[in-house]
Amino acid sequence: MNYTVIGIGAGAFLAFMAFAFGFWGFLVAILFMAVGAVLGRAAEGKLDLRGVLDALTGRRSSS
């Protein structure tokens, strides 16, 4: 599956959430999609959560 099809699916899901549950349902859907994306990248090994945590707490620079 290419990124265009995935983007269309995500847009359709967000449109459904906005129509069915209003603005707050739309925001909650976006929040859960973002959390899922972060966890998916961490599971694939493309994101180092420990490095992100260290950068956010000031232990290490992000650059």
Q: How wide is the angle at C-alpha 22 spanned by C-alphas 20 and 27, nearest 5°? A: 110
Q: What is the pTM of this model?
A: 0.69
Q: How confident is the model at residue 55 (pLDDT cuts 50, 70, 90)?
A: confident
> Does 44 score more than 70 pLDDT?
yes
Helices (H), 1-63: 3-44, 49-57
Q: How confident is the model at residue 45 (pLDDT cuts 50, 70, 90)?
A: confident
Q: Tell me the two tokens of residue 16.
A: 């459904």
pLDDT recorded at residue 61: 66
